Structure formats: structure tokens, C-alpha cells
Copies of this chain bind each other. A is one copy, B any other.
Amino acid sequence: MASSQFHCLQSVRVSSPSRLSISTSFYHGRVNFKRKSNCLVYASTNNFNRDLHLQSKVKTVLDSVKWDDKGLAVAIAQNVDTGAILMQGFANREAVATTISSRKATFYSRSRSALWTKGETSNNFINVHDIFLDCDRDSIIYLGKPDGPTCHTGAETCYYTSVIDLLEDQQSRGDKFPLTTLNSLESTIAKRKGELEVPQSGKPSWTRRLLLDEKLLCSKIREEADELCRTLEENEDKSRTASEMGDVLYHSMVLLALKDGKMEDVLEILRRRFSQSGIEEKRSRKTQG
């Protein structure tokens, strides 16, 4: 069962503690109001009522999950910017309640029979933006942003062993991740860039040519942007737009690689500018009044 620290009330703290504080505890399905001295609870009558209301809602959500015969459900942590699946563990009621309140991905360790928050030892927390349940309500996604590598080996994700690699007789080198298309393209460009530093290495390729000729690269980016616009201006087919957009994206990514930039940074910038989901959006609404 969970360690005693999770018996206490846990606080959701927003930017200003005086604005909103929520304490939740859902030990074994019961709302538990025991207060321990090491727990920070900012109390006021209004906040207390609000907390009670939220606790009731969290309990309803937790009641709706189909926990297995050990009280667990599968919990998958995913990087909101790259889409990388970081790790998979199991969660019980307390783990999900703790994740809701702390916004740090928290699991239940079956081997240690205890809750554990990813990052409590390494400081590489996974900051959860939202939590999703599947149609059967027995599987959970923690969608968030990791502070650093998730795997205890230091790898970005725990999934670094490709079965196809293994079948190809290669020793798993721990460097083949389940990359989605955008990340895979970035990885290919980075590889071509790396080859430039080793004389006589690398095959001729368009990416290599672009990396070696900044003038050509910039001319291509401007040209492809122009061609993308012309698919709208000249009312071309949408498949042409998708193709030109692919060109814009690819050539821009080569420039980004030349500048040692990362797509994850670009996506984080876009997220901060445009998307505020889940708790962040809620906070923003509260802040904006």
C-alpha cells in the first residue's frame, strides 16, 4: 500500500497561493481529511468549500475508472511536444489523485508496493498538462512535459530497443527510439549533419548539399514558401498544398539543424503561444478572471 506521505492532504497550488488552494486525499476511495504537519494547506472558508467540491469531483472520476483486481490501471506518460511515449507504469487511485493535485506523473510501483512520482530521485519530473482515460476507462495517459530524460538509463524515453533491429542481428545500441515522422526526419537531418564532421563519410544527398550551401538552402526556403502560397493564390489542389508544405517544413528543419535548434523547442514555443490546455487553460481563465 502507499507510503504514509500520501495519507495527508495534498495541495494544488497556483501562481499565487492566496488565490486558490485545493487539498485532495483519496486514500482507498475515501475522502480523508487528516492533516499532517508536513503538508501545506492554505485554508479559508471559501477555499475549503471549493476544495470539498473538487474532492467530490475527483472521487467521481476515480470511481469511474475500471481498476483491475489489484486496484491498478495502465498509465502511459507522453511528451506533449514531441509525442514521444516516455514510459509506462501502473497507477492506483492515489497515484492518479496525486497526479491531479501535484501535476507530476505519479505511479504505483508493484515491486515496492508504494506510490512513486517520476523524478522524485532524479528530479526529472514529468509535468502533467492533462490526463486522459480510454473508452474502457482502464487505461490512462499522462500528457505532459518532462524536465529531462525519463529513463533511469539516461535515455529520453524507456523505449529504445527496436525489435526490427534485434531481428537484424544488431545489438540494441539504445539509440533507436520509436520516432514519429517529424522526429524521425529531424534525426535523419542530424545524422547527415554529423557526417559532415567526418571527412569522406556520408553519401551524396540533397540534405547534405543543403547543409553545405547556406545560400542554396535559404533560396530553397524562400522558393518553397512562395510555392506554398501559390497553391492558394492559384487555387491548386489540396494535395499540392500538402506537398509544398512538406517542402517548406523539411527545408526549414535543415536550417534549424544548421543553427543547432530543435523541433521540440519550436513546438514548445508554439504551445506557449497558442495552446493552453487542461489545467493551464483553467489557471489562465482564473487568472484572467
The interface residues of chain B lying within 8 Å CB-to-CB of A152 are 135
Interface of A is mostly: helix
Assuming the contacts A162-B278, A181-B268, A270-B181, asked whether A214 and B232 have C-beta atoms less than 8 A apart, the reply is yes
Interface size, chain A (Cβ < 8 Å):
103
The interface residues of chain B lying within 8 Å CB-to-CB of A266 are 242, 245-246, 249
Cβ of A269 under 8 Å from chain B: yes
Are the C-beta atoms of B238 and A260 separated by less than 8 Å? yes
Q: Which of the segments A32-40, A75-83, A117-125, A195-203 contacts the partner chain?
A: A75-83
Are the C-beta atoms of A135 and B158 separated by less than 8 Å? yes
Residue of B nearest to A62 (CB): B163
Are the C-beta atoms of A134 and B162 separated by less than 8 Å? no
The interface residues of chain B lying within 8 Å CB-to-CB of A238 are 259-261
Contact of A132 among B64, B162, B246 (CB under 8 A): B162
Bitwise, A235-263 to B at CB < 8 A (1) or not (0) is 00011011101101110110110111110
Contact of A182 among B176, B182, B246, B279 (CB under 8 A): B182
Number of copies: 2
A206 to B184, CA, bound (A): 31
Are the C-beta atoms of B274 and A188 separated by less than 8 Å? yes
Q: A185-B271, A222-B229, A241-B259 are in contact. List 10 more A-B contacts (CB 8 A).
A: A82-B83, A83-B84, A130-B162, A131-B163, A132-B162, A181-B270, A228-B252, A228-B255, A245-B255, A250-B273
Residues of A near any B CB (own CB < 8 A): 54, 57-58, 60-61, 64, 74, 76, 78-85, 87-88, 96, 100, 130-137, 139, 141, 143, 151-153, 155, 158-164, 166-169, 176-182, 184-185, 188, 214, 217-218, 221-222, 224-226, 228-229, 231-233, 238-239, 241-243, 245-246, 248-250, 252-253, 255-256, 258-262, 265-271, 273-275, 277-279, 281-282
